[in-house]
Structure 1
Amino acid sequence: MATSIVLGAGMVGVSTALALQQRGDDVLLVDRKGIGRETSYGNAGAIQTEACEPTAFPRSVGFLLKAATKQHNMINWHPRAVIENRHALWGYWKNSAPARHAAISQWYARFTAKAEKHHAPLAKAADAEHLIRRSGYIAAFRQASTLESHMKTAERLKQGWDVPVVELSDAQVHEKEPALNVSLAGGLWFSNVWTCQSPGALTSAYGELFKQRGGSVAYGDAMSLAATEDGGWSVMTEQGRVEAERVVVALGPWSSELTERFGYRIPLLRKRGYHRHFTSSSGPNNAMLDVDNATFMSPMNQGLRVCTGAEITQFDAPADLRQISRAEQAAREFFELGERVESAPWIGHRPCLPDMLPVIGAAPRHNGLWFHFGHAHQGFTGGPAAAQLLMELMVDGKSPDWAAHFSPARFG
């Protein structure tokens, strides 16, 4: 019988399995599709060490009006989904007030500000360093007013978190990106950020490292999780029902579906995102963010990946191509793009919580049941660092005072 079962083989789940394994657990990693095939496949592929502050709910009335009338590409609201998620969105709004957001950032940054220190040894051990570029990314601004407002944030990050950021003129951006076709108000270069040529491949490489170190992986149905008579846990896999002393729920946006079965109503808000790849012989040298159009562009093995902002919609709603179409248009204005690689865009979800902090810790009313999800926009970045905290709580029994900020108990 395994010591621990980890449900979910995205970056968070794989990192959790590696951390528990490192501490001596016999770990079984279970996923319905395999390692790195869901949310960790489709993200922007950035290890965002500059993301010391969580993505706040926009509080500008002007912005909200643009978003409500679908004039801004950062957010696409759907009224029915807003109504269904009204309590979570209201909590998100309140926690995004400047003073509260600043306090939350102190805890959030524990997993993002030094993320490269946790990724570096894993990437090296997994022989995956070739997948990582250490040249940062450029936030590009078409409008001077947008640049001015983001300069204030950049200065705060630089002064408060020691984030390396360099202001670039239009000429300096073009020097770094000679294929760029538009004139800009300027840019910000976040030089310390790592970007990845294939986030799914990096997650898979970490998973292979887990297996090389003796870990086991199985296809299985997380929703079959059940308590055993002897106080452990079991789940149905391709190998039949398997048991363990304890289990970690690391299912990303699907986590709340499982936790609700055990009486835990954690207000998980799912932000949908889209990406598409394009052939490009003259695209960017490195990752770029078109801030005014909320479009992230990153060279990847599959082509130039163009990523959208967030969509608030029902989990199983059909695709709304509005954002990805606008993102494609913005990317084509920046660079000469070729054909679409996929016939349809990829769709995924970011698992977010109203206080913008992940859930990391023991289920309050079930022995041996542990939660690790809700990393919102930064599961790929902060998964390995957060896994260290969970491992200390599970295996070492340590409970630093600050761990309470991530406890599932905060939701009752």
Structure 2
Amino acid sequence: MSRSDVVVLGAGIVGVSVALHLQARGRSVTLLDRRGPGEETSYGNAGLIERASVVPYSFPRDLLVLARYALNHNIDARYDPLFAPKVAPWLIRFWYNSAPARLKRISAELLPLIQNSLSEHKALIAEAGLGHLIHEIGWIEVFRKEASHRKAIAEAADVYAPHGLRYDVLSAEQLKAREPHLADVAVGGIHWLDPASIRDPGDLVKGYAALFVARGGRLATGDARSLEAAPGGWRFKTADGIGEADQAVIALGPWSDDVFRDLGYRFPLAVKRGYHRHYRPAGNAVLNHTLLDVDKGFLLAPMAHALRLTTGVEFADRDAPPSPIQLERAEPAAKTLFPLGERTEAEPWLGRRPCMPDMKPVIGQAPRHKSLWFAFGHNHHGLTLGPVSGRLLAEMMTGQTPFIDPAPYSPARF
């Protein structure tokens, strides 16, 4: 039987970051997952460290936009009609928290995490020797309609510029200068300069995990649902036998409820599913930046070995079979913007984003188990917020003064 100070359940970006920061503060840590590091939600995303995302993704309030989504014909959002009644109570809470005054307060509460996201990543990247994976070139919003371009320019000036965020407003000609192989369908863009892009998010998480192991951490394979209270802490099963730990951290992303529910907690965790597929560029085409096609609702990102086409959100049961509908809509739309070539894989990837209705993660101590801690529910920003969340939780667990106020993310708010 092996014993650690802490067992961290989940080897995605959040769990690995928690483990590294605890380790750096002198704790012995076991990192437990059923798969290898970075092979679930952390693998399939846009690869952005979104330093500019000072306003979280909220529920639309415009009636015309809502009507468009209700038709269920979009790339950026889709719902399974059979699942809609089940998720409706959560969506109502999400809609409530998206009211302008509440969204402004929530944005302010999330801001310390966002402001420190890139610096915390860069510190770990330097320690792990992963500088080849990060590109500090920002990303670009692309617009096909003059009206949406003008609206975004105004919002950038009113909402984002006051936070000191840097961006370039691009005409069609300036956009073409930065991305010469784009088709002539865009009227302009906005280049957000502060975010960084990761050309292989899965490899980034594996690199962080390798640093954890190199520093003496234990990486174990096992089912997190085996966690149970034991004298003096917690017991869990691994492929190598029984493990014990004084403290436990649930950092399982969209599977967190598989563990916290059995421990008596009822957090309003929902899952937004999403898809990606990889393509080769046609001919000699090159994509330099990650692009969001605002008017069509897809994202195209240059990854280490291919171009990644991603969809928006799908509201469906977490474990339901994948649906190809959004990618089938996105592929022809993407080909009108950039010359995509052949697919590099037979099947698309399906991922699951863990989301809370108030758009804030759950980070902190369990109300009824003093040796249990939570780090999940990072919405669309798990990759962005992994290291900063790991530092915050590790400081709380080791009795240090947290470098930012953890109160807005407290599990006790539910």
Taking structure 1 as the reference length, the TM-score comes to 0.97
For residue 294 of structure 1, what is the aligned residue in structure 2? 297
User: Structure 2 matches for 1:268-283, cutoff 5 A?
Assistant: 268-280=269-281, 281-283=284-286
Which residue identity lines up with residue 233 of structure 1 in the other structure? W
Shift in Å, 1:37: 0.4
CA 401–218 in structure 1, closer or farther in 2 if over 3 Å, else same: closer
1:341 aligns with 2:344: yes
CA 148–325 in structure 1, closer or farther in 2 if over 3 Å, else same: same
For residue 41 of structure 1, what is the aligned residue in structure 2? 43
SS at match of 2:95: helix
Say whether the 8 Å CA contact 1:158–1:165 is kept in structure 2: no
1:221 aligns with 2:252: no
For residue 303 of structure 1, what is the aligned residue in structure 2? 306
SS at match of 1:42: coil
For residue 170 of structure 2, what is the aligned residue in structure 1? 168
Which residue identity lines up with residue 247 of structure 2 in the other structure? R
The equivalent position to 2:139 in structure 1, one of 133, 137, 146, is 137
Say whether the 8 Å CA contact 1:283–1:336 is kept in structure 2: no
Say whether the 8 Å CA contact 1:289–1:296 is kept in structure 2: yes
SS at match of 1:338: strand
1:267 aligns with 2:268: yes
**Post-superposition CA distance 1:54-87 (Å, at most 9, x none):** 1011111111111110233211022332211222
Quote the sequence identity (%). Answer: 42
Distance 1:29 1:289 in 2: 35
Which residue identity lines up with residue 232 of structure 2 in the other structure? G
SS at match of 1:314: coil
For residue 326 of structure 2, what is the aligned residue in structure 1? 323
Shift in Å, 1:231: 2.8
Say whether the 8 Å CA contact 2:50–2:196 is kept in structure 1: yes
Distance 1:259 1:302 in 2: 38
Which residue identity lines up with residue 111 of structure 2 in the other structure? A
Shift in Å, 1:400: 8.2
Shift in Å, 1:160: 2.8
The equivalent position to 2:23 in structure 1, one of 11, 21, 24, is 21
For residue 121 of structure 1, what is the aligned residue in structure 2? 123
Which residue identity lines up with residue 379 of structure 1 in the other structure? G
For residue 114 of structure 2, what is the aligned residue in structure 1? 112
For residue 155 of structure 1, what is the aligned residue in structure 2? 157
Say whether the 8 Å CA contact 1:351–1:376 is kept in structure 2: yes
Moved more, 399-408 or 363-372: 399-408
Moved more, 254-263 or 66-75: 66-75
Distance 1:104 1:32 in 2: 34
Distance 2:403 2:173 in 1: 48
**Post-superposition CA distance 1:108-165 (Å, at most 9, x none):** 1221223111011111111111011111111000011211222233123433311111
For residue 251 of structure 1, what is the aligned residue in structure 2? 252
Which residue identity lines up with residue 329 of structure 2 in the other structure? R
Distance 2:287 2:193 in 1: 15
SS at match of 1:311: strand
Say whether the 8 Å CA contact 1:82–1:89 is kept in structure 2: no
Structure 1 unaligned blocks of 5 or more: none
Say whether the 8 Å CA contact 2:392–2:404 is kept in structure 1: no
Pairs aligned (count): 410
The equivalent position to 1:93 in structure 2, one of 95, 117, 129, is 95
Distance 1:385 1:157 in 2: 23
User: Structure 2 matches for 1:5-16, cutoff 5 A?
Assistant: 5-16=7-18
Distance 2:225 2:46 in 1: 28
CA 376–397 in structure 1, closer or farther in 2 if over 3 Å, else same: same
The equivalent position to 2:315 in structure 1, one of 301, 312, 317, is 312
**Post-superposition CA distance 1:366-400 (Å, at most 9, x none):** 12111100001001001111111111211116478
Which residue identity lines up with residue 167 of structure 2 in the other structure? V
Distance 1:308 1:168 in 2: 24
Distance 1:399 1:167 in 2: 37
Distance 1:179 1:30 in 2: 44
For residue 197 of structure 1, what is the aligned residue in structure 2? 199
User: Structure 2 matches for 1:77-88, cutoff 5 A?
Assistant: 77-88=79-90
Which residue identity lines up with residue 75 of structure 1 in the other structure? A
Distance 2:381 2:300 in 1: 17
Shift in Å, 1:334: 1.2
Shift in Å, 1:340: 0.5
Say whether the 8 Å CA contact 2:54–2:160 is kept in structure 1: no
